[in-house]
Amino acid sequence: LAKTTQPISMDSYEGQEVNITCSHNNIATNDYITWYQQFPSQGPRFIIQGYKTKVTNEVASLFIPADRKSSTLSLPRVSLSDTAVYYCLVADDKLIFGTGTRLQVFP
């Protein structure tokens, strides 16, 4: 049973900011939140990870509220190459991928 819930799909246009929210109501105290990106015919690729508040790297930002029951992946100014499936995972001793969010970026 997946521990996370996220939208099945999202559409955006080039240059826009995209926010993908993931719900993880049963997150444990020690769990980290990790996001992966998967392109067709490739394995998932680690994007960003956080525990609380905000984390930013060269690819994305991750916002985690104080209760940690959800998280939001923010992709600034998306391009066509950001079209992919994005997975939110809550870490435990075995990593279960949910259905992911299929992001389609249009010109």
Partner 1 sequence: DAGVIQSPRHEVTEMGQEVTLRCKPISGHNSLFWYRQTMMRGLELLIYFNNNVPIDDSGMPEDRFSAKMPNASFSTLKIQPSEPRDSAVYFCASSYRVEKLFFGSGTQLSVL
Which residues contact partner 1 (rule: CB under 8 A)? 32, 34, 36, 41-46, 49, 87, 89, 91-100
Task: Write down the least CB distance from residue 46 to partner 1, Å.
Answer: 5
**Nearer to partner 1 (CB atom), residue 45 or residue 69:** 45
> Which one, of 71, 24, 28, 74, lies nearest residue 52 by Cα?
71
CB 101 within 8 A of CB 85: yes
Report, in Å, the least distance between residue 89 CB and partner 1.
7
Q: What are phi and psi of 6, to 5 degrees?
A: -145, 160
**34 vs 70 by CB, closer to partner 1:** 34
